[in-house]
């Protein structure tokens, strides 16, 4: 066999092998996608993990808001301990914020960042020798639900969109975050 014929034969064998390999990869990827979409239990675990992460984040923010709302009624002798507790909860909120950032959409991340900024402002406004300034007192009296409601709405919308993406329609039986 001469060189040009051998080259063309090798090229044909390589092209055929590449076409077969490409077809196998596409078929296995399609099969894996269909298997994942049919596996509702795996999605339920992901959904539950996200829901738990979001709920823990909102609960921690709520505890900070409650601490700030009760600040004027806190006796001066107890304020250093309450302030330390508020700062500890703020650190916990930052840790939970990192968990939210890992597994969320852009709207959830933005809403979580707003909650963290508000909580930082509330905790930084606490003064051992004085009651709350009027702006912080008004913010704390609105309650923690006003603080976390935009975040919880964004979480619910994100999870419903994920359900629709995985299953083609929104999952009605999936547990939802309450925004009440």
- At 145 the pLDDT is 65
pLDDT bracket for residue 42 (50, 70, 90): confident
Residue-wise pLDDT tens digits, 107-148: 999 999 999 998 998 888 887 777 666 566 555 556 656 778
Domain residue extents for the chain: 1-38, 43-167
Of 102, 99, 97, 85, the residue nearest 148 (C-alpha): 97
Angle at 155 between CA 151 and CA 160, to 5 degrees: 150
**Which span out of 27-36, 75-84, 123-132 was modeled with the highest average pLDDT?**
75-84
- At 149 the pLDDT is 87
The answer to whether 132 and 121 have CB atoms below 8 angstroms apart is: no
Q: DSSP letter string over the chain?
A: --HHHHHHHHHHHHHHHHHHHHHHHHHHHHHHHHHHHH-HHHHHHHHHHHHHHHHHHHHHHHHHHHHHHTGGGS-TTTHHHHHHHHHHHHHHHHHHHHHHHHT--HHHHHHHHHHHHHHHHHHHT-BTTB---HHHHHHHHT-HHHHHHHHHHHHHHHHHHHHHHHHSS--SSS------
- Token pair 């359900």 in the structure block, residue: 163
CA distance 133 to 9: 84
Q: Average model confidence (pLDDT) for the chain? A: 78
Surface-to-core class of residue 35, CB atoms within 10 Å of its CB (0-12 exposed, 13-18 middle, 19+ buried): exposed
């Amino acid at each position: 066999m001469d060189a040009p014929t051998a080259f063309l034969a090798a090229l044909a064998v390589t092209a055929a092998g590449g076409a077969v390999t490409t077809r196998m990869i596409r078929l296995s990827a399609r099969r894996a996608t269909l298997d994942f979409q049919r596996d509702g239990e795996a999605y339920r675990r992901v959904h539950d993990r996200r829901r738990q992460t979001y709920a823990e984040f909102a609960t921690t923010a709520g505890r900070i808001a409650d601490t700030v709302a009760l600040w004027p009624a806190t006796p001066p002798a107890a304020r250093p301990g309450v302030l330390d507790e508020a700062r500890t909860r703020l650190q916990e909120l930052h840790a939970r914020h990192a968990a939210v950032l890992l597994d969320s959409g852009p709207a959830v991340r933005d809403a979580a960042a707003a909650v963290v900024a508000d909580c930082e402002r509330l905790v930084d406004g606490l003064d051992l020798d004085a009651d709350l300034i009027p702006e912080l007192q008004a913010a704390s009296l609105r309650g923690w639900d006003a603080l976390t409601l935009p975040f919880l709405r964004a979480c619910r919308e994100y999870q419903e969109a994920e359900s629709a993406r995985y299953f083609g329609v929104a999952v009605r039986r999936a547990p939802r975050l309450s925004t009440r």
